[in-house]
């Protein structure tokens, strides 16, 4: 599935250069601030995960696992 390929590619890039986490963090903040999200709680959850991943290698590993795993929970 294309989304799986994309998620794996993103994980590979983040693993090679964790500073790239700044990009999704900026996007999520912008989307939250616009107030147009249909499920903002999911974006808040991702923001929290990504912020923690910028500070902690174990948290970064967790984000990479989420991106590389195809389960109902990780798709959410």
Average pLDDT across each block of 10 residues of the chain; the chain has 76 residues. List them in order.
81 96 94 83 91 96 91 67
DSSP 20: G
3-state secondary structure of 17: coil
3-state secondary structure of 36: coil
Task: Write down the pLDDT at residue 40.
Answer: 82
pTM comes to 0.81
In the chain, domain spans: 2-75
Longest dimension (CA), the chain: 32
Task: Write down the pLDDT at residue 9.
Answer: 93
């Amino acid at each position: 599935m294309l989304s799986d390929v994309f998620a794996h590619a993103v994980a590979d890039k983040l693993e090679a250069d964790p500073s790239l986490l700044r990009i999704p963090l900026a996007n999520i903040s912008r989307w939250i601030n616009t107030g147009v999200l249909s499920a903002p709680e999911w974006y808040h959850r991702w923001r929290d995960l990504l912020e923690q991943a910028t500070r902690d290698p174990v948290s970064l590993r967790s984000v990479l696992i989420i991106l590389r795993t195809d389960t109902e929970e990780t798709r959410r």
